Amino acid sequence: MIECIEIIFTSLSAESIELLIATLPELGFHGMEETEGSLIAYADVNELDHSEFEQFCKEHALIFSRQIVKQQNWNALWESNFDPVFIPGKVHVRAHFHPPIEGFTHEILITPKMSFGTGHHATTRMMMNAMLDIDFTHQHILDFGTGTGILAILAEKLGAKSIQAIDNDTWSIENVAENLKMNNASRCSIYLGQTLDALDVADVVLANINKSVLIQHALSIYHHLNTPGKLLISGLLQEDYDDICQIFTPLFGEPIKRLDDSGWIALLFGKRPS
């Protein structure tokens, strides 16, 4: 059984949480769970760069505790803390051990394990809410930073013709495959990678990542989006708005829609003929 290290960061600002979510995967962490003012992160003991991690925490004055846990216990912890997520009348996100509930147009089964994206976080909720107002019928979709695959699954349920789901985390790729199977999602292809270079163009691009990754890949996202097309992004704090618009507005024009939730934002852009 694989041993994991569990790190609990406390006394965090919203900016510190965004920094951790963006940086920890680069240090070897595979799973994160955000709570109010804190963040729990998990990594395989043998894959974590301990010296680089210690230096990072020292540079940013991070307060944390740690313990070694078994992978099985980590997954059991997810199950004990995983509550269903509801978008009233529209979407019900649940784990396999929760009973189904009538009265929702779409039901999504998610077993998160070490992947990020269960519908609990404000950014995922906003992405799902915004997706409900987009016509996915017969559209080709690209889900950049797919996490658990929750947005890719919803895109298929909304009528997408094909979905390319990409993530740079091997745990995520394995988890997406399991979640696609549970949801009978057959029109989604999974890719492991850091860039979009090997992927086809899409009619809708979904990207719930973070500011630094979005800015880094803005031009690539632009070239992977058909004209006309729609781009829906999140993983952004409210104070990221100006920085994001400085990069994305020259490419896509002003945002078509902005959603706000608990200090986070989601933005919808369009790509139109020049």
Instruction: State the CATH number of the domain containing residue 45.
Output: 3.30.70
CA distances from 5 to 40, 72, 175 (A): 10, 13, 19
Q: Looking at 86-90, 96-100, 193-197, 203-207, which range is the least confident one?
A: 96-100
pLDDT of 73 reads 57
Domain contains 114: no
Ranges assigned E (strand) in 111-262:
140-144, 162-167, 188-192, 202-208, 225-237, 257-261
**Global pTM?**
0.78
Domain of residue 259, CATH code: 3.40.50.150
Pair (129, 243) in one structural domain: yes
Pair (240, 190) in one structural domain: yes
Q: Looking at 62-76, 127-141, 171-185, 218-232, which range is the least confident one?
A: 62-76
Domain contains 93: no
For the ranges 23-32, 70-79, 91-100, the one whose mean pLDDT is highest: 91-100
Which two three-digit tokens encode residue 63? 């307060």
Q: What percent of the chain has pLDDT over 90?
A: 58
Pair (130, 262) in one structural domain: yes
Pair (127, 260) in one structural domain: yes
- How many separate domains does the chain show? 2
Domain contains 90: no
Q: What percent of the chain has pLDDT over 70?
A: 91
Domain contains 102: no
Pair (19, 153) in one structural domain: no
CB-based contact 190:173 (threshold 8 Å): yes
Domain contains 116: no
For residue 70, the tally of other CB atoms under 10 A from its CB is: 12
Task: Give the domain extent around 267.
Answer: 121-271
198 Cβ contact list (under 8 Å, min separation 6): 191
For helices 150-157 and 122-131, what crossing angle results, to 10°? 20
CB-based contact 228:273 (threshold 8 Å): yes
pLDDT at residue 72 greater than cutoff 60 = no
Mean pLDDT (whole number) for 139-156: 96
pLDDT of 113 reads 63
Domain contains 71: yes
